[in-house]
Every structure is written in C-alpha cells, then in structure tokens.
Amino acid sequence: MQRAVSMVARLGLRGQPLPSVPGRLLSGSQDVLRRTPLYDFHLAHGGKMVAFAGWSLPVQYRDSHVDSHLHTRRHCSLFDVSHMLQTKIYGCDRVKLMESLVVGDIAELRPNQDKVRELQNMGSDVGLEVVDNALLALQGPTVAQVLQAGVAGDLRKLSFMTSAVMEVFGVSGCRVTRCGYTGEDGVEISVPAAEAVHLATALLENPEVKLAGLAARDSLRLEAGLCLYGNDIDEHTTPVEGSLSWTLGKRRRAAMDFPGAAVIIPQLKGKVQRKRVGLMCEGAPMRAHSPILSTEGTVIGTVTSGCPSPCLKKNVAMGYVPFEYSRPGTRLLVEVRRKQQMAVVSKMPFVPTNYYTLK
C-alpha cells in the first residue's frame, strides 16, 4: 500500500507531478487486490498498477500522465471501469424506487434513454457510483460479470467505436451508452468479461485511441469541475452545497418528493451556508485537505481536490467555503506546504466542454 502511494507520487514527466490519487481509494495490499478482466492486458501495455478501492488498476501507461491527458482532449482514450457495479431493476414500481433514492426526474425518461447525469446528484464517476451505492443496501454486494470500458474524448469517433464493437460481438453482444466520466463526453461499453481483451485490442487498432489511467482520469474530471464521491461530495453534502442544483428535476422541486427535500428546498432559495467552488492559483499545486483562508488569514474552508491543469498550465482545485466567499473573482488564500498563497474563486468547468451530442 505504501509502496503504491509512493509510486504515484514519483510518477510524471516534464517536471509536473501526477494528480494525487485520492487517499480514501487507496486500500489493501497488492497481493489481495481484485483484478479486472483487463489486468494482464494493462501489464502487457506498460500499465503501472496501483491499489484503488480494493482493485489493482493502472495509474498510467508508457506515456506520461500529461501526454495521456492531452491525447484524451484531442482524440479519445480507453479507460477500464470494470471494477464498478452495474445494476438492473425490474418491477412495476422501479421508477418509484429510483425516485426514492435520487433527486432527478426518472419518470420522464423514455425506455432505453440514457441520461446518467439526471440519475444522480453528484458528478464524475458517480453516475455509476452513487446509484450503485444506494442499491447495494437493497441487493447486496454482487459484482456484475461485465466489462465497462469507458471511451473518453471526442465522440465524433463514436462511429468507429460502435463499428468495432459490432464487428467483435454483433449488435446484441454489447451495450453502448453515454457518460461524463472524465469531464469530456464519452461512452460506456459493456460486454461479457471473457471478451474484454478482444474488444480493447480491436479499439486500440485505431491510432487515435490510446489507453488512459487513473491519473489522467482525475485531472480530466477536475478540469471539468466534476466531483469525486468521497472527496468532493459525500452522504452529508446536498446538491445545493455541492453546486449541483441542476440535478434537481423541475417536477420534483414542485412536488418536494425527493430525498432531503425539507433541507434542500430552503437552500435553493438562498439559505445555504457553504458552497463548492473552483479555485485557481499560481505557485505550488493545491491538494486535498489544504486549508482555505480569507485574505485576513482566517481559515474558512478546505480544498477537496486539486492538481495542475495540463490544458491551462495553472493549478486548479475545488473546495468548500462559506456562501459569502463563493462569488467568482473573490480573492482568497490557500495554505500549501505551510505557506500561504493567493487563490481566486473561478467558474467551473475550468476548461470549456466540447461535448458532441448524438441526435
């Protein structure tokens, strides 16, 4: 475990360190970690494996983290998310069940319509994670025997991806859906575990497709201002505090029938004490748990995620501050390595999105 953490700290080229893989997710030792169907595939392609939520996953490959990040922005990358749970719900009350767990308007979704972000009140990978965590209590900790390979980047390449999948498995052999896993648009491909390597190999035959690891995923999602559950949001965070009010369905706001409505509705009307904000600064990178201070030197909040932005070549971070300090342009201080440096509250996403929507 300590060796894995040390390795993450050492990796990275061009004098720019990797974004820290969140500490809550590094657990266990390498000899007891679970392996995804692509474990040997990762090693064969130069994957540097680390402990992540009880799994052994690649933090990066032969390319530097920065190169991988920028390639994803310009083209597309393949990311292994087969450690995550996939759940199906059946029954006439399935919509009612889901709406008892989330704040989105589930009833408005058409059959097979994929609106991951409407199903959760978080960001980033929690389109998978939050709903799954809520359902674990109902269904038990069963892991689906499927591969979910996330292809992040330019969805104009989706025609190639879909063709490759169909060629390997046939139309009914997989499921392709959209997700916002890394901060650029992406697709999630689910296939039987035994066929995972076959699919990944077929996708990589396109020179514009490369493998991406945890480091690129984290910096990509941070540039996009997306939350990581357990770091930027948890079960004690409301959508309003997390700057995620857009997840609240209009019908559900009116009906006040979603979880936590008695607390959240007053917050929507301006009665919120803290807010998640974006921060940008020069100097040393801001990291999770760094104190946020007012310009007078009073501690007012904490950084939850932070890293150097490969696209902006500036340091970006997210954290929570009292509402009165949340306006973009507000100057604050952040304590990094026991030294205070200036930071500015910034709008998110830090890097403009370039979503390509399939009609």
Q: Which residues are annotated as a binding site?
A: 188
Handedness of CA 346, 155, 143, 38 (dihedral sign): negative
d(Cα 68, Cα 70) in Å, to the nearest integer? 6
DSSP code of 211? E
With contact defined as beta carbons under 8 Å apart, do 209 and 288 qualify? Answer: no
* Residue owning tokens 């889901």: 98
Q: Which residues are annotated as a binding site for substrate?
A: 188
Which residues sit opposite 331 in a β-bridge?
Answer: 344
Helices of type H across the chain: 2-10, 39-44, 65-74, 94-99, 126-139, 158-169, 196-203, 214-223, 250-255, 261-268
With contact defined as beta carbons under 8 Å apart, do 273 and 307 qualify? Answer: no
Across the beta sheet with 209-211, the strand order is 175-179, 186-192, 146-153, 76-80, 209-211
Please tell me whether residue 73 adopts helix, strand or coil conformation. helix
Burial 50-72 (b: 16+ CB within 10 A, else e): bbbbebbbbbbbebbbbbbbbbb
**Alpha carbon of 133 to those of 47, 102, 126, 240: distances in Å?**
28, 12, 9, 21
In total, the chain counts a number of residues equal to 359
For residue 229, what are its two tokens? 């559950």
